[in-house]
Structure 1
Amino acid sequence: MHKRTDSLFKKSVLTTTVVTVVASAVNVPAVLAQDDEGFGLEEIIVTASKREKTLQDTPIAVNVTTSQDIEQAKIYELADLQTLVPTLRVNNNVFVSAQSFSIRGFASPTALGTEPSVGVFVDGVFRSRATGAISDLPKLERVEVLSGPQSTLFGKNASAGVISIVTAAPSYEPEGKVEVTLGNYDQRILKGSISAGVSDKVALSLSGGYNQRDGYTKALVAGAEDYDSKDRWNIRSQLLWEPNDHTRLRVIADYSKIDEICCASVDVVQGPLAPAIEFLGGAVLNESKAFPRKHTAAVPTRTKVVDGGISLHADLDFDGFSLTSISAYRINEVQNAGQIGDESLNTSFRIGDPGTDIKGLSQELRLTSTGDGPLDWIVGGFYFDEEASLEDGIRNGPDLRPFIDVLVGGNGDGTALVGLEGSLGLPAGSTFADGDVALYRIGQDNKDFSVFGNLDYNINESWTATLGLNYTKDKKEAFLTELQNDDLFASLGFLANGPLASLQFRPPVVEFPNVVESGKSEDSKTTYVLRLAYRLNDNMNFYVSKATGFKSSSWDLSNFSRPDINDAAALDAAGINSSNPKYGSRMSTPEYATVLEFGAKLFFRQVSLNLAVFQQTLQDFQVRSFDGVNLFQANAGETSVDGFEFDARYSPSDNWTFSLAGTYLDPIYDDFRNAPPGPGDDPSMPKDLSGTKPKNIPSTSLALGVVYNKSLENGTDFFIRADYQYESSVKLSDLDTRFERQIKNLGVSTGLFFNNNVSVQFWGRNLTDDENLVSIFGAPGQPGTISAYVNTPRTFGLSIAYEYK
């Protein structure tokens, strides 16, 4: 097992950093605390600990984005939030529905059978899939990003962290807002909200939005559509009922739709099949030209998402404790259809109907102490029941057979392929035919139950000890059924090791559950947090903690799902093996996280600093990769990251606020001897990546912000804001070191708020027009061709709003 040779040195550097910061804080800002000017930073209230506390009194590594930050920076969705929160990253995939979130560099593979390492909660309701969190954000109070395992407070285990979105509750006082935005790429946004009390005990609110934008990745093929467009809308209603001083009920219903063409996967390296594409009249993107904001796909990848749900939140106060109940039911339907890769020939495309259907029920009960005394406690239970199914398939296009004919030595008229079919004993024209389908039905039922508790013992006015426990039991029942497979060529087992094996795109799968594979997994684990917090004075708090997290088994619910090679003999004996057997892994075993952390929270009138130094280890980290032909799902034996993150703010006057947030990460695969093979490698032979750094995790990420506010004499309020995002250079692949990414992104916004309730705001994002590749992967069906997702170019817009309160 490989370990860092310089670990002791780096830990010493981190410790020295902490000591220096603390020493400086003790001696310098004490004067600022005595400053009796009227200006200064506002204390931020958070609920990361399931109690309303100031950010400085919360001994958890949490980054908070306030409603003012969101409004000024024009944060429309979680993907925009990463420009302000360095520890958070949103990762693209071929469909907008396949986005994933990472905290401190680690994220889950995006797949139907994989639960997230980063849990997303909206008003305490767990969103089990990224598709339930990618719509435009509703009217918010704040977004809290919690780093590290959070199972002892959120019930549902989240091994890497939590994104907690807190929306605005209905107001009894009448208020409303409507906003219209026009931007480049013909972007049109309409947002509105209204809220009022219908009695002294009941308040209602209604909000919604519409967002449409043309694509910024242009089509090279005549008649094809541009990629990376937006077309989405959402609506959200709330009822707040407070029948007495001890009872608060809140009903929230939401519904949203997305119909978008995203995300362009442009070719950045052309493989040996490019001449065949050009021979048949297809377009090939020359990677030596300018940055590839053009695509050659003939058929767009279109995603349609329907997401909605209803939840009931009940808060009841009793003598010495309060009861919180959150009951929720959610639906999520996704249709992904279109071209498989960036290909100007219509060779094959994904069938999007009926797509994915997810229904989930969740229930959380929580008791929280409210009395005086040395003990503060929280106990609760969480139940989650979800059914997910997907009907997924590939249909051959009219250009596939001519394309294959060229590859086997023909001129595209099918003659060579007919000869090959004859030599294999297949009827002429029976292979790679237009309209042939490979169709599958896959899914799983998931039941998850946990009990959790958190106990804070106030030893004295300065010291607090915390013990948190969570016991989780997770059950999954997965299945895969092949409904149709017309690929006769792929069913020929004797070609498996020959030169034509790469043309066997869809060999018959082994359905499960079967007599060898049960399709069931059952995992249970007790996780914990131990923490000691020290309050030096009203301005300075410190803590040290150890926390563990757990993520249950994940199933490969795709048409690439393959049995383990150790089951080959049993499958053969049972007579249920494929005629052309392929082996891999049906599932990844559970993932376990351990985090050691030291934190400092400092708050003065003009200066605040939150700092966390950590060592985070993931045992059996779940990984997933795709080389264009084969999909691999596995566990990395051990992955770890040493680092620190900080968030500092400084307000020298009532007009100016400066902020600087950042992370430093030093990740490594301590033990990864079963890594997926690289391009050109034998797909049956794993690689050993032990001792190497994981892809896509930058060592340094920074977010610098400057805000200037001014109230003019005529009653108009003015602000100008600049946000700069920086990421150090990072490799985009574990196995191909040719591609790196570095981010330098500038966002600016400025606005005027007139005394007639009208406001005008101009905003721009990525004004430097920074160009970088987001990620790379092997192009489907084109060995040697490498495709990439590209970042969003310069965008800007003008927003006009009317608001009354």
Structure 2
Amino acid sequence: MIARFLLLASVASASFILPAAHAQDSAPDQADAAIVGGAIVVTARRRAEELQDVPLSVSVLNADAIEQTGSYNIQRLTQLQPTLQFYSTNPRNSSINIRGIGAPLGLTNDGIEQGVGIYIDQVYYNRVAAATLDFVDIEQVEVLRGPQGTLYGKNTTAGAINITTRAPSFSYEGKAEISVGNLGFKQAKATVSGPITDRLAVRIGASVTDRNGTIYNVATNQRVNSQDFLGLKGSLLWKATDTLSFTLSGDYNLQNPVCCAQIYAGYGPTQRAANRQYPALTAALGYQVPSTNPYDRLTDLDAALRARNEMGGASLRAEWDLGPGTLTSVSAYRYWDWQPSNDRDFTGLDITAKSQNPTQQKQWTQELRYAQEGQTIDFVVGAFAFHQTIHTTGSQVQGADASAWLLNPSSPLSQIPAVLEGLTADNDIRLKNSSAALFGQLTWHVTDRLSLQPGLRLNYDRKTGSYDSVVTGTASDGTRQTVTFASTDPWIVAQRGVLAPQSFDAKFSDWNLSWDLTASYEVSDDVMAYATWSRAFKSGGINLNGVPLDANGNPQLNVATVKLEKVNHYEVGLKTQFWDRRATLNLSGFWTEIRDYQAIVNNGQNSVLRGYLANADKVRVRGVEADFSVRPSDRVNAYASGAYTDPKYLRFTNAPCPPELSGGSSSPATCDISGQLLPGISKYSLSYGVEFNVPTAVLGGDGQFYLGWDGSYRSTFSSNASRSITMDIKGYSLNNLRLGFRNSDGINVYGWVRNIFDQNYMEVLATTPGNTGLIAGQPGDPRTYGLTIKADF
């Protein structure tokens, strides 16, 4: 941590060696365009325009809002955006949803796409893990709700998160920030920018975060679920001519915390025999969890915990004013290196001694587009290409308590630890994923007030993947053998019921045509109404977590691939400003129907927790949203955003059964959950905040003391693919407070308290292997507090 703070100090000190002779006023650039004349400017339609002129449901957070509320990653943004959901048990097992759709809640499957596109400086990030890293030098975050496929990358069927970082400037500037708080929290950020020559400017930024864990592991005498983040970003802007510029950017991000523990959250009886459920199994082994109250934040996990998450890349953006429009090229390379270690039995028993799926992923993207604005016609046309490679080499090793825990207690084998001890599955998983697209969107200003906006996207996807799991165990004669379905050795037979070998190759390819049509009408200068009808697709995929086996041990290849999602989306909206534009109220209503929805199914065939994909016949999500902000005076500003969301499986007849109906000899293989709610979605959600300030001349110059409050609420939601009587997470509210001083010289000092009422809540609940009824959970952060000092210079 000391070394990282020294690194930040060096970034800050670099500002003093920038050539002062080259300092000059900068031309308006992306960083300067965030707010123009009091209006919020966005690039949601790939061109700069005022937020209220965009016929789209979009929310915007600028750098000040992000920093003041402590929203330094997308997970924290969910407290400010009611219809943005983020779930993560570790960086790899993360999902982002908008309006409840985007990615299935559950274990990550590398063979499918996410439905929410993440873009940073116009570069598409294919992995949700990107969202778990700290923001570095952010200028603005736009959350676009609803399908965006005719303008954005790929598979943005639920929406897009468009993040813009600050651009290099041709005038000297710098920022520095340091925060300290309870739980050993330390965070520091620094940025410098300035000219190198009259046409060349540079920007360098860095961020480090460190915090002790919120859960105490009594087995290892250490705090777990800690934070240990490092982020570096640099960019170089070359204005080759007055009409041509190039921006070269690179970044490096590293997380290396002691993480991620899910702890005892409860017990819910299943259909398994009583002697094979959690109470009887723990009693037989003489085991007792450190606490049955998850908010005591105690665990005794005995396997090593690690969540090393490294990510970086480089991009080159060229912008050329060509004729009446602008030609933009964005070339990018990104990599992701994930090195985890987990305790997948969720107890202090030696059941699963090792469980990990390290993965290395690389992606290349190229986008080329031309945008033009005119009095009657505006348009954007372009092409996009994407290629990704994934190589995952996972392993799972069973421990000395596995036989007693996983095998039937009536079998004498359950009393022999050596039957399962050392049983090992070595997995090799590979994927090549390519896609290409042509897209375009046109805006026809029929009159001064009426506009029509059609869009098209032609997309091709191709995936080739393989899954190979080799299992080795100890036979009854004491020799190590490959576990096969041909063996009749009773030990091997028992082992393959726990970790079954399988191997298969699969391919997927398809063309699809997406389109949308939006009509907007300016009722008055401050009121606009719009309506959208769109047809979108989310790419199909390959099941790369393994698939069920038939009676002979052969993979059921009929579920090795999953169909693409077909989305029909309808939306109406109203954007208004009033009270001399001091107040803004935007309303939207939406109705989204998805056929062949990609849902996670838990395979109850084996004693391990394995998720694979299936297509639900039809899903519907509908709702209304409202975004309100008001600034009655220079002394007060406030906002409130709310959403009602009604998500439902209209037809899903072959769904996984909830835990209470699983595990028994007569339990149904599948359940009909048609009419049930989708997981992870609250019907009601709300974000709100207010800030008051009082002018003062303290420390000279113009300054002000301020008091800010922001909070969020969400109602009960399901944390299981099929709604269960034991897997709902109760609704909760979180409230944060800040009190500080800032002045016109760029000094800002404030104290903050987050989760001020110390609300106990669960971020996620999960079933555990073996249908034992054990429920694991991840408690949200307790109350935290601290002090932040910022300076702009």
Q: Structure 1 residue 63 and structure 2 residue 59: aligned?
A: yes
Sort the Cα spacing of 1:512 and 1:492 in 2 relative to 1 into closer, same or farther, 3 A: closer
Is the CA contact (8 Å cut-off) linking 1:505 and 1:629 kept in structure 2? no
Of 588, 613, 618 in structure 1, the residue corresponding to residue 594 of structure 2 is 618
List aligned pairs for 1:401-420, cutoff 5 A. Answer: 401=403, 403=405, 407-408=409-410, 416-417=415-416
- What is the identity, as a one-letter code, of the residue corresponding to 2:188? L
Q: Structure 1 residue 557 and structure 2 residue 544: aligned?
A: yes
Which residue of structure 2 aligns with residue 75 of structure 1? 71
Structure 2 stretches of 5 or more lacking a match?
Answer: 1-35, 270-276, 477-482
CA distance in 1, matches of 2:313, 2:557: 39
CA distance in 1, matches of 2:258, 2:282: 24
CA distance in 1, matches of 2:489, 2:647: 38
CA distance in 1, matches of 2:384, 2:426: 36
Q: Structure 1 residue 750 and structure 2 residue 773: aligned?
A: no
CA distance in 2, matches of 1:415, 1:162: 50
Q: Structure 1 residue 631 and structure 2 residue 629: aligned?
A: no
Is the CA contact (8 Å cut-off) linking 1:224 and 1:299 kept in structure 2? no
CA distance in 1, matches of 2:139, 2:745: 24
Which residue of structure 1 aligns with residue 272 of structure 2? none
Sort the Cα spacing of 1:482 and 1:87 in 2 relative to 1 into closer, same or farther, 3 A: same
Sort the Cα spacing of 1:583 and 1:488 in 2 relative to 1 into closer, same or farther, 3 A: farther
Give the fraction of aligned pairs with identical amino acids, expressed as a percent. Answer: 28
Is the CA contact (8 Å cut-off) linking 1:749 and 1:763 kept in structure 2? yes
CA distance in 1, matches of 2:249, 2:239: 15
SS state of the match for residue 512, structure 1?
strand
Give how far 1:793 is off: 1.6
Is the CA contact (8 Å cut-off) linking 1:456 and 1:464 kept in structure 2? yes
Which residue of structure 1 aligns with residue 263 of structure 2? 266
Which residue of structure 1 aligns with residue 119 of structure 2? 121
**Count of residue pairs brought into register by the alignment:** 725
List aligned pairs for 1:228-627, cutoff 5 A. Answer: 228-270=225-267, 272-284=277-289, 287=292, 289=293, 291=295, 293-352=297-356, 355-370=358-373, 372-401=374-403, 403=405, 407-408=409-410, 416-417=415-416, 429=418, 431-433=419-421, 435-486=422-473, 491=484, 504-509=497-502, 511-513=503-505, 519-558=506-545, 560-562=546-548, 577-578=553-554, 585-604=559-578, 605-626=581-602
Of 141, 144, 150 in structure 2, the residue corresponding to residue 143 of structure 1 is 141
- What is the identity, as a one-letter code, of the residue corresponding to 1:382? F
Sort the Cα spacing of 1:630 and 1:175 in 2 relative to 1 into closer, same or farther, 3 A: closer
Give how far 1:757 is off: 4.5
Q: Which moved more, 1:719-728 or 1:780-789?
A: 780-789
Is the CA contact (8 Å cut-off) linking 1:638 and 1:672 kept in structure 2? yes
Give how far 1:163 is off: 0.7
CA distance in 2, matches of 1:591, 1:620: 5
- What is the identity, as a one-letter code, of the residue corresponding to 1:525? N
SS state of the match for residue 454, structure 1?
strand
Sort the Cα spacing of 1:487 and 1:117 in 2 relative to 1 into closer, same or farther, 3 A: farther
CA distance in 2, matches of 1:416, 1:89: 45
CA distance in 2, matches of 1:488, 1:705: 64
Give how far 1:787 is off: 1.7
CA distance in 1, matches of 2:696, 2:490: 77
Of 659, 665, 668 in structure 1, the residue corresponding to residue 645 of structure 2 is 665
CA distance in 2, matches of 1:793, 1:151: 39
CA distance in 2, matches of 1:415, 1:315: 67
SS state of the match for residue 478, structure 1?
strand
Sort the Cα spacing of 1:158 and 1:415 in 2 relative to 1 into closer, same or farther, 3 A: closer
Residues 372-421 of structure 1: CA deviation (Å, up to 9, x unaligned): 331111100000011111000101234435656894577xxx89438xxx
Is the CA contact (8 Å cut-off) linking 2:215 and 2:224 kept in structure 1? yes
List aligned pairs for 1:25-64, cutoff 5 A. Answer: 42-64=38-60
Q: Could you say what the CA RMSD is over the residues aligned between the two structures, in angstroms? A: 2.7
Residues 28-66 of structure 1: CA deviation (Å, up to 9, x unaligned): xxxxxxxxxxxx993110000111111100011111111
CA distance in 2, matches of 1:415, 1:57: 68
Q: Which moved more, 1:374-383 or 1:629-638?
A: 629-638
Q: Structure 1 residue 97 and structure 2 residue 120: aligned?
A: no
Give how far 1:543 is off: 0.5
Give how far 1:292 is off: 5.2
Which residue of structure 2 aligns with residue 85 of structure 1? 81
CA distance in 1, matches of 2:352, 2:532: 52
CA distance in 2, matches of 1:82, 1:200: 41
Deviating runs (4+, > 4 A) in structure 1? 401-406, 487-498, 500-503, 581-584, 754-757
SS state of the match for residue 232, structure 2?
strand
Is the CA contact (8 Å cut-off) linking 2:248 and 2:314 kept in structure 1? yes
Which residue of structure 2 aligns with residue 794 of structure 1? 783
Which residue of structure 1 aligns with residue 711 of structure 2? 724
Structure 1 stretches of 5 or more lacking a match?
Answer: 1-39, 419-428, 514-518
Is the CA contact (8 Å cut-off) linking 2:196 and 2:202 kept in structure 1? yes
Give how far 1:737 is off: 2.0
Sort the Cα spacing of 1:642 and 1:594 in 2 relative to 1 into closer, same or farther, 3 A: same
Give how far 1:153 is off: 0.8
Give how far 1:295 is off: 2.2
SS state of the match for residue 453, structure 1?
strand
Q: Which moved more, 1:275-284 or 1:66-75?
A: 275-284
Residues 453-499 of structure 1: CA deviation (Å, up to 9, x unaligned): 0011111101001110001100000101234433769756899999x
Residues 660-716 of structure 1: CA deviation (Å, up to 9, x unaligned): 111111111111111112324367721111111122211111101101233313332
- What is the identity, as a one-letter code, of the residue corresponding to 1:461? D
Is the CA contact (8 Å cut-off) linking 2:102 and 2:157 kept in structure 1? no
Is the CA contact (8 Å cut-off) linking 1:562 and 1:586 kept in structure 2? no
Q: Structure 1 residue 763 and structure 2 residue 752: aligned?
A: yes
Give how far 1:799 is off: 1.1
Of 711, 724, 731 in structure 2, the residue corresponding to residue 736 of structure 1 is 724
CA distance in 2, matches of 1:794, 1:584: 49
SS state of the match for residue 760, structure 1?
strand
Which residue of structure 2 aligns with residue 424 of structure 1? none
CA distance in 1, matches of 2:508, 2:74: 32
